[in-house]
Amino acid sequence: MNRFDYIKPASVSEAVTEAARPGSAYLAAGTNMLDLMKVGVVGPERIIDVTGLPGLADIEWLTDGSVRIGALVRNSDLAYDTRFAETFPMVAEALLSGASAQLRNAATVGGNLMQRTRCAYFLDPASACNKREPGSGCDAREGENRLHAVIGFTEHCIAVHPSDFCVPLVALGAEVEVESLDGKRTIPLAEFHLLPGDTPHVETALRPGELITGLKLPAQAAAFSGHARYLKLRERTSYAFAVVSAAAALDMADGRIRQARIALGGVAAKPWRAEEAEASLVGAEASPSVFARAGEIALAGAHPSGSNAFKIELARRIVARALALALEGTPEAMPALPASPFSTLSGETSGVAHVA
């Protein structure tokens, strides 16, 4: 690990002032960045520790019905907040499926948004990776790539975004609040993470020195609380990233779908909102064939980036299954294995098996 300067500011304004200097990086829990520093993938010259900043660790319910979540709110605190979990159940389910209890107790909302890909070639400084070293190439193209992207990739990068948390957030229209020396601004989460294009090292819409201060969910997202699920297929039941995942939410009226939300994880370099698939459900009477059709539409633009053609059919089925589970209704208690297709089905209450 390279030597670095350590700065612990007392306010947001002080933090963004310090971060404006070249070679700076923000540190919260460090559950991802410290690992990357240890293996030599990143080497910041200046670490700006934001963990003690005031006003960034609160969950605030606003008068218009929306909710603002501070960037330093811990994953476990958010997932186990009763009001939040009842209002946005698929977000809580995604959080509880994302890591061990120890990591959830440390990881933060802002850090989760800034997760880096788990592509093995990105994590190996001896490999060619345009995301880590622009212009060096992409060894994943001809390497072990069965878990790589099937949507939105280019010849320059086929990595996928690893977050569970971001998938239902994108589906629900979340916004990211940021601050820098230039002031404050809001970025729709759907526009926050970027596809690789020919600049895969540019991963987010953040400008140099910008600090994530919070995340906001709109009031209308609460309309899906009764029919919302997050489903994640992983290669082992616990502590694994998604092969593919899907967030699905329905707003039902008289047996028909009034509104729908669908997003996919594990298929692209960003959480993937499937708006055309959502539109296909509006006004329809819910049925397996309608859900299967939505899965087809959601993956209409997909094609393999290597030996991963299986992920396309898998993702289609995960979308249909997530929609079917959402139709059954949000469980009264969190499933024993959150987001797992092998967990208890909707409507069965097994209690929360994970301990914060």
Q: Is the pLDDT of residue 117 over 70?
A: yes
Residue range 276-321, pLDDT digits in tens: 999 999 999 999 999 999 999 999 999 999 999 999 999 999 999 9
Give me the pLDDT at residue 344, please: 54
Give me the pLDDT at residue 101, please: 81
Q: What is the rounded CA–CA span in Å between residue 152 and residue 130?
A: 16
Tokens of 3: 């030597």
pLDDT: which is higher, 345 or 282: 282
Give me the pLDDT at residue 162, please: 95
- Which residues are 252's β-sheet partners? 257
Q: How far is the CA of 81 from the CAs of 30, 77, 271, 277, in angstroms?
A: 23, 6, 24, 31
pLDDT category, 334, cuts 50, 70, 90? Answer: confident
Give me the pLDDT at residue 1, please: 64
Angle at which helix 288-298 crosses helix 310-328, to 10 degrees, equals 140
Torsion-angle region of 168 (φ positive above 0: left; ψ -120 to 50: alpha; else: beta): alpha
Q: What is the rounded CA–CA span in Å between residue 112 and residue 71?
A: 9
Give me the pLDDT at residue 100, please: 81
Q: What is the rounded CA–CA span in Å between residue 191 and residue 345?
A: 33
Q: Is the pLDDT of residue 345 over 70?
A: no
* Mean pLDDT on 143-164: 97
pLDDT category, 103, cuts 50, 70, 90? Answer: confident
Q: Is the pLDDT of residue 174 over 60?
A: yes
Q: Which helix (H) or strand (E) holds 208?
A: none
- Which residues are 169's β-sheet partners? none
Give me the pLDDT at residue 352, please: 38
Give me the pLDDT at residue 302, please: 98
Q: What is the rounded CA–CA span in Å between residue 275 and residue 292?
A: 15
Closest CA to 251 of 216, 292, 281, 272: 281
Q: How many CA atoms lie within 13 A of 206 on its CB side?
A: 24
Tokens of 309: 């053609």
* Mean pLDDT on 160-182: 97
* Mean pLDDT on 231-238: 85
Cβ proximity of 109 and 71 under 8 Å: yes
CATH of 226-328, one of 3.20.20.140, 1.10.3720.10, 3.30.390.50, 3.40.50.12780: 3.30.390.50
Q: How many CA atoms lie within 13 A of 320 on its CB side?
A: 18
Among residues of the chain, what percentage have pLDDT more than 90? 85
Q: Is the pLDDT of residue 346 over 50?
A: no
Give me the pLDDT at residue 337, please: 80
Tokens of 10: 């007392």
Cβ proximity of 160 and 307 under 8 Å: no
Q: Does residue 183 sit in helix, strand or coil?
A: strand
Closest CA to 51 of 23, 74, 33: 74
Name the DSSP letter for residue 339. Answer: T
Q: Is the pLDDT of residue 351 over 60?
A: no
Among residues of the chain, what percentage have pLDDT more than 70? 96
Residue range 199-229, pLDDT digits in tens: 999 999 999 999 999 999 999 999 999 999 9
Give me the pLDDT at residue 98, please: 85
Mean pLDDT of the chain: 93
Closest CA to 70 of 27, 17, 108: 108
* Mean pLDDT on 326-354: 68
Residue range 241-251, pLDDT digits in tens: 999 999 999 99
Cβ proximity of 141 and 129 under 8 Å: no
Tokens of 274: 């499937």
| Residue ranges of domains in the chain | 226-328
Cβ proximity of 227 and 326 under 8 Å: yes
Q: Is 355 exposed, middle or buried (0-12, 13-18, 19+ CB in 10 A)?
A: exposed
